[in-house]
Chains A and B, each alone.
Chain A
Amino acid sequence: NAGVTQTPKFRVLKTGQSMTLLCAQDMNHEYMYWYRQDPGMGLRLIHYSVGEGTTAKGEVPDGYNVSRLKKQNFLLGLESAAPSQTSVYFCASSPGTSAYEQYFGPGTRLTVT
């Protein structure tokens, strides 16, 4: 099992460009999450999904959109990138509610210039 994988690993964008980050999990988990991690700020939840076809906002959703068309995939989109979105992005999945552990991907380092 690959667990949770993220594509790409690194990306540099210019302000105003768009991109999509892909998260895939092969554990048949219902819940999936997107976080960003910035120095001094810790991990902050952007959006999450409690099942195929569902999405919900987290703590810092502005400037991001997500989709969960297939159970195994969770996409994070940046429509018009801003320098404030420079961060490391982590995807995670979980079998269910917060009574279960989360499994994290390796992260995507995004720089917006």
Chain B
Amino acid sequence: SQKIEQNSEALNIQEGKTATLTCNYTNYSPAYLQWYRQDPGRGPVFLLLIRENEKEKRKERLKVTFDTTLKQSLFHITASQPADSATYLCAPSGYSTLTFGKGTMLLVSP
């Protein structure tokens, strides 16, 4: 069955550093992979989508890579800020649906 792994332990970093979150998946080959941010008590919010033929995608301070050979996506936040503290979910896709990882909590301290 499809399996998605994200670091279950929270990632603690200092303001201004680059945060790197990992998403590994097994037993399928998604055509797309999406990343979402979720704040406590709120619904997830879309951040970035990357296609299988794209190695890297950027949006402002965010960067996503997608390695279909390693079956891994990396999510980077550069110049991190306390406001970036949240849980980040990766979601490799099927044709119509997404399968979400359990998420990694990021804590950025001033």
Q: Which residues of A contact B32 (CB under 8 A)?
A: 98-99
Contact with B along A45-62 (1 / 0, CB 8 A): 100101000001011000
Q: Which residues of A contact B97 (CB under 8 A)?
A: 33, 45, 48, 58, 98
Closest-CB distance, A41 to chain B (whole angstroms): 7
Q: Which residues of A contact B89 (CB under 8 A)?
A: 42-43
Interface pair A107/B43, CB less than 8 Å apart:
yes
Docked Cα-Cα span, A88 to B44, in Å, equals 12
**Interface SS of chain B:** loop
Q: Which residues of B contact A56 (CB under 8 A)?
A: 96
B93 is an interface residue with CB less than 8 A from chain A: yes
Give the size range of A's interface with the partner.
20 to 34
- Interface segment among B69-77, B78-86, B100-108: the answer is B100-108
Docked Cα-Cα span, A58 to B51, in Å, equals 23
**Most B CB atoms within 10 A — which of A43, A48, A105?**
A43
Interface pair B101/A42, CB less than 8 Å apart:
yes
The answer to whether residues A42 and B93 also contact, given A102-B46, A106-B42 and a CB cut-off of 8 A, is no
Interface pair B98/A102, CB less than 8 Å apart:
yes
Contact of B49 among A31, A35, A48, A101 (CB under 8 A): A101
